Amino acid sequence: MTMTKVYKKTSGNGSLCLYLGRRDFVDHVERIDPVDGVLKIDPSALNGRKVWVQLACAFRYGREDLDVIGVSFRKDIWIKRIQMYPFEGTKPPNTPMQDALLKKAGDQGHPFTFDIPVHLPCSVSLQPAPEDAGKPCGVDYEVKAYIASEEDETDEKVDKKDTCRLIIRKIQYAPNELAAGPKTDLNKQFITADKPIHMEASIEKELYYHGDPIPIKVKVNNETSKVVKKIKISIHQITDVLLYSSDKYNKCVLNEEFGDQINANSTFEKEYKVTPLLANNKEKRGLALDGKLKDEDTNLASSTILLPNMDKQMQGLVVSYKIKVTLMMGGGLLGSLTLSDITAELPLVLMAPKPSEVTDINLE
């Protein structure tokens, strides 16, 4: 694979130029790709000041236009800074990506590398309503270079023209080893019937890729005199917002009804294929999406995979999915459930496939 795109941001005064060869950094659960870039520095306009580059992971939990009572709408989860000019410390060996970027940046290029701790959250955002302004609620990562007299810019106002920044994403891909899918069995006994209805629902794999059809097998043994009028399948995204409060969003991202009727004292077996897509959920405020880069499309948020004993509070947003299979017994209104309906639930892991490895880097 040949990499041809360079992400570049220049400060307003032209003294700094940030170069990255990619903006997606993979969380492999046990380790995370290092963030490797190059900063071009023109020292002629520094006037004795210094240059830092920082990587910050932050949780944004309010719209900027609502920040009128002094409540911070941004909380830094983790922040790391490197003094780039004059340089202090020891430089690690350059990565192939940095060697390629240094050819672009020239003699004034300075490589930098950040290691992201494994306990930090992945990039994720909550879908705003169409009328919402400002950046959406969620977790984002930002590489920023700035000129200042002191390292911590909170104590001195850094002029906007003395900074340049790029948003990056920390993302998880589906693991190579996939476990077998879950299965659920359910018996429903009605007061008016001697024998029950038995339902079995299952999926072949525990994990499916975004945009791929999900085959759900449904088996029913109806030993009652009642009739199943139709079958409903829904998929729900559950997002736990952990950092600033204990909110929980439960959003239905797919809801389909099938007119299969199961008569009294009969058996039934069928496989249904359903595909949850962001394209069908564009209007749902609060829906979790994979971290979005400006002007780039995204998808429903991937399921959060955590290491054992990992502090969930640090994650900001934890996303999971479940499938509901409902036998609709009554002739109620479209989509409405009745007390006699039977619902089985299955856990679902939804993620993106791992892209092929970069084997050759050419930024010419």
The reply to whether 298 and 224 lie within a common domain is: yes
356 in a structural domain: no
**Rounded CA gap, 158 and 149, in Å?**
9
The reply to whether 153 and 264 lie within a common domain is: no
The reply to whether 106 and 191 lie within a common domain is: no
**Rounded CA gap, 32 and 29, in Å?**
7
Rounded to an integer, the average pLDDT of 51-72 is 69
pLDDT for 358 equals 46
**Rounded CA gap, 129 and 133, in Å?**
9
Alpha-carbon dihedral sign for residues 283, 286, 292, 294 = positive
The reply to whether 143 and 279 lie within a common domain is: no
Among 249, 210, 251, 214, residue whose Cα is nearest residue 350: 210
pLDDT 10s digits, 251-304: 999 999 999 999 999 999 999 999 999 999 988 888 999 887 765 678 899 998
166 in a structural domain: yes
pLDDT 10s digits, 76-129: 889 999 999 988 778 889 999 999 999 988 889 999 999 999 888 899 988 876
The reply to whether 105 and 159 lie within a common domain is: yes
The reply to whether 262 and 164 lie within a common domain is: no
Among 136, 114, 123, 116, residue whose Cα is nearest residue 170: 123
What is the identity of the amino acid at 259? G
362 in a structural domain: no
Domain coverage including residue 28: 7-172
135 in a structural domain: yes
pLDDT 10s digits, 176-211: 777 889 999 999 888 877 889 999 999 999 999 999
pLDDT for 70 equals 46
pLDDT for 130 equals 66
The domain that contains 313 carries what CATH number?
Answer: 2.60.40.640
Is residue 2 over pLDDT 60? no
User: How many domains is the chain partitioned into structurally?
Assistant: 2
User: Across-strand partners of 169?
Assistant: 24
The reply to whether 90 and 207 lie within a common domain is: no
**Rounded CA gap, 120 and 77, in Å?**
8
The reply to whether 65 and 128 lie within a common domain is: yes
pLDDT for 244 equals 60
Residue carrying structure tokens 């909380």: 75
214 in a structural domain: yes
The reply to whether 190 and 145 lie within a common domain is: no
pTM of the model: 0.82
